[in-house]
Amino acid sequence: MIINTVNKNNLNTLLKKATEFLDITQYQYEEAEKHYQAVGKFLGHCPKISEYSPEVFPQGSFRLGTVVRPLLEGEEYDIDLVCQLDATHHEFTQKSLKKIIGDRLKEPRYNNQLQPESRRCWRLNYAEGTRFHLDVLPAIPDNESRQILSIRNDSQYYDTAISITDNLNSNYNSYTNDWPKSNPRGYNEWFKNQMKVVLNESLRTFANAKGVQVDDVPFYRVKTPLQRTIQILKRHRDLLFKNDEDKPISIIITTLSAKAYQNEANIYDALMSILNNMNLFITDDGYGNDVVENPVDNRENFADKWVQYPKRKENFYIWLERARMDFETILDKTDLKDLRESLNNSLGESITNKVLNENNQLIPLNENLSLAIRNSQAIDFSPNEEFIQEQYAMNLKYDLKLGCRVTQKGFRDKLLKELYILKRNHSLKFYIDYLNIPGTYSVKWKVRNCGTKAKYNGVRGQILDDNGTQSRTEESSFYGKHYVECYIVKDNVCVAMDRIDVPISGILN
């Protein structure tokens, strides 16, 4: 396929702008940094804690530069911190370590902000203006892991391994080396190494523009295509699964993305390369269980809960297929309506509106589909596709709402909208669920199959008359993000229309 370079450059600009809207602001970064440094100083001034040389540092998406704005307005950002004491497992149990940190935070300085104890952390809420809270995770060095990994030479990041607290752990109140383990500093260094080429170039460019030394540039002031891609993928996940507790977890998306990244300089190239290759880094434990190995401690499997919660594994692969579908044909869009709808599905309506409103001069697309230039290089181009705007005058003054029921032999019907993705070999019945038009009218349908498989299976897209039932039955045959449109024509004018997207996976049954 020949890529339209102008469209790709414009799309890269749109995706870059989208991640800026997804990110927290520079002010919020600086406020968060100021507050967690203040927490560190406050803990360090406590005589019971100061003898252990406490150190507070960020971990997770805030440190990696992959923070994603909450889906709902008014929700707060999580900023994860580690409070590490230079102590041993002989000096503290998990419970006593967590208590000494909690007791200090319960003093007047932070008592009003401190929330009830959570499983692993202590949470401090901040004012609405900053819209974030700090989760403080107590920790001590994990010297046993450091020694084991050093001897086995399994990781170059062994010397930053830590032991953390978890009040559901069976050893929570015991003096033992067997604590939950982590290594956020090691993971951060590994992550930076995965994008080292592009990151170093970005830091040099920023430093030259500001007239400062590279070492003086804060990490959060530059963003690589890897970081931006992860933000996009996490937002896509949040939109698809919303409140589903079995949605793919961020550490798996981040780890597989970083492993698949090849230092592409373009966001869209990085996005598609990562989506096409990230599953190749899921291995097997020899018993048929999937493994997403922690790159800084190969004893840990980030996907270990998939055995206990198989829905999490299923949802990961559903999300991966949906993400591939939603992004792979975006370069083929030749009218603004389709581009807006595609971005809405992937990034959310509020982000899409901001991006397109700011960049509408960059998009060489037409508001009116009848004027759109057919993109003969599109991966699912059909010279026989028909468009309702070219056959009838348009005056969409009535309301039409489509429904779709999915049937598989031996299973009860489901509404298509209840499914994240549709498996193959299912029967689909599309029907008019609501229509408020008076008098006589005619009904027409269009079935469009999209994606790379469409060319091999025959691209559809002609406008067809209704069979008199105000419904249409189809089969889910092959992979792709297809769609069905329905049109109501009265007095030779199209007066109502609706569309249902039909994302079909490559999975049978």
Q: Copy the structure tokens of residue 451.
A: 């994606």
Mean pLDDT for 391-402 is 96
Residue given tokens 């607290």 in the structure block: 165
Domain boundary (374, 401, 428) is at 374
- C-beta of residue 291 within 8 angstroms of C-beta of residue 284: yes
Per-residue pLDDT reduced to its tens digit, 323-355: 998 888 787 776 677 788 888 888 988 898 888
Task: Please tell me whether residues 442 and 296 are part of one structural domain.
Answer: no
Put simply, whether the predicted model's pTM sits higher than 0.85 gets the answer yes
- C-beta of residue 492 within 8 angstroms of C-beta of residue 395: no
Cα atoms found within 13 Å of the Cα of residue 124, Cβ hemisphere only: 24
Q: How far apart are CA 336 and CA 146, in angstroms?
A: 55
Mean pLDDT for 196-219 is 83
Q: For residue 155, give every residue at least 6 positions away whose Cβ sits within 8 Å of its Cβ, in sequence order, or none.
A: 149, 186, 295, 296, 297, 298
Mean pLDDT for 27-34 is 87
Question: Whole domain around residue 428: which residue ranges?
Answer: 379-508
Q: CA 504, 508, 509: angle at the middle one, nearest 5? A: 95
The answer as to whether 210 is a domain residue is no
Cα dihedral: 383, 389, 393, 399 (round 10): 140
The answer as to whether 125 is a domain residue is yes
Q: Is pLDDT at 5 greater than 50 in this prediction?
A: no
Q: In which element (H, E) is residue 240 found?
A: helix 225-241
Output the domain CATH number for residue 54: 3.30.460.10
The answer as to whether 208 is a domain residue is no
Task: Please tell me whether residues 356 and 410 are part of one structural domain.
Answer: no
The three-class DSSP label of residue 261 is coil
Per-residue pLDDT reduced to its tens digit, 167-195: 999 999 999 999 999 999 999 999 999 99
- C-beta of residue 292 within 8 angstroms of C-beta of residue 255: yes
User: Hey, which residues does 486 pair with through a beta bridge?
Assistant: 445, 498
Q: What is the CA radius of gyration of the chain?
A: 27
Task: Please tell me whether residues 249 and 346 are part of one structural domain.
Answer: yes
Mean pLDDT for 231-249 is 94
The answer as to whether 207 is a domain residue is no
Residue given tokens 């299912």 in the structure block: 426
Among 136, 135, 125, 132, which Cα is nearest to 101's? 136
pLDDT band at 369 (very low <50, low <70, confident <90, very high): very low
The three-class DSSP label of residue 72 is coil
Output the domain CATH number for residue 456: 2.60.40.10
Lowest mean pLDDT segment, chosen from 58-67, 448-457, 496-505: 448-457
Into how many domains does the chain fold?
3
Task: Please tell me whether residues 259 and 279 are part of one structural domain.
Answer: yes
Domain boundary (374, 409, 444) is at 374
The three-class DSSP label of residue 490 is strand
Domain boundary (316, 348, 374) is at 374
Among 246, 259, 257, 260, which Cα is nearest to 306's? 246
Concatenated DSSP letters of 273-296: HHHHHGGGG-EE-SSS-EE-B-TT
Cα atoms found within 13 Å of the Cα of residue 80, Cβ hemisphere only: 15
Q: In which element (H, E) is residue 431 found?
A: strand 427-435
Q: How far apart are CA 102 and CA 306, in angstroms?
A: 33
Q: Copy the structure tokens of residue 484.
A: 């069905």
Task: Please tell me whether residues 358 and 384 are part of one structural domain.
Answer: no
Task: Please tell me whether residues 116 and 2 are part of one structural domain.
Answer: no
Task: Please tell me whether residues 191 and 233 are part of one structural domain.
Answer: no
Percent of the chain's residues with pLDDT above 70? 90
The answer as to whether 217 is a domain residue is no
The confidence score (pLDDT) of residue 191 equals 96
Task: Please tell me whether residues 35 and 155 are part of one structural domain.
Answer: yes
Q: Is pLDDT at 374 greater than 60 in this prediction?
A: no
- C-beta of residue 476 within 8 angstroms of C-beta of residue 424: yes
Q: How far apart are CA 421 and CA 436, in angstroms?
A: 30
- C-beta of residue 307 within 8 angstroms of C-beta of residue 334: no
Per-residue pLDDT reduced to its tens digit, 98-139: 999 999 999 999 999 999 999 999 999 987 666 789 999 999
The answer as to whether 213 is a domain residue is no
Task: Please tell me whether residues 189 and 275 are part of one structural domain.
Answer: no
The three-class DSSP label of residue 43 is helix
Task: Please tell me whether residues 153 and 185 are part of one structural domain.
Answer: yes
The answer as to whether 212 is a domain residue is no
Total residues found in the chain within this entry: 509
Name the phi and psi angles at 304, rounded to 5: -65, -25
Q: How far apart are CA 55 and CA 265, in angstroms?
A: 35
Task: Please tell me whether residues 276 and 195 are part of one structural domain.
Answer: no
Q: Is pLDDT at 385 greater than 80 in this prediction?
A: yes
Number of C-beta neighbours around residue 212 at 10 A: 11
Long-range contacts of 94-100 (CB under 8 A, 24+ apart): 94/165, 94/166, 94/167, 94/169, 94/171, 94/172, 94/173, 94/179, 95/165, 95/167, 95/172, 95/173, 97/138, 97/139, 97/140, 97/165, 98/122, 98/138, 98/165, 98/167, 100/48, 100/49, 100/138
Task: Please tell me whether residues 364 and 478 are part of one structural domain.
Answer: no
The answer as to whether 306 is a domain residue is yes
Task: Indicate left, alpha or beta for 458 from its phi (over 0: left) and psi (-120 to 50: alpha).
Answer: left
- C-beta of residue 426 within 8 angstroms of C-beta of residue 406: yes
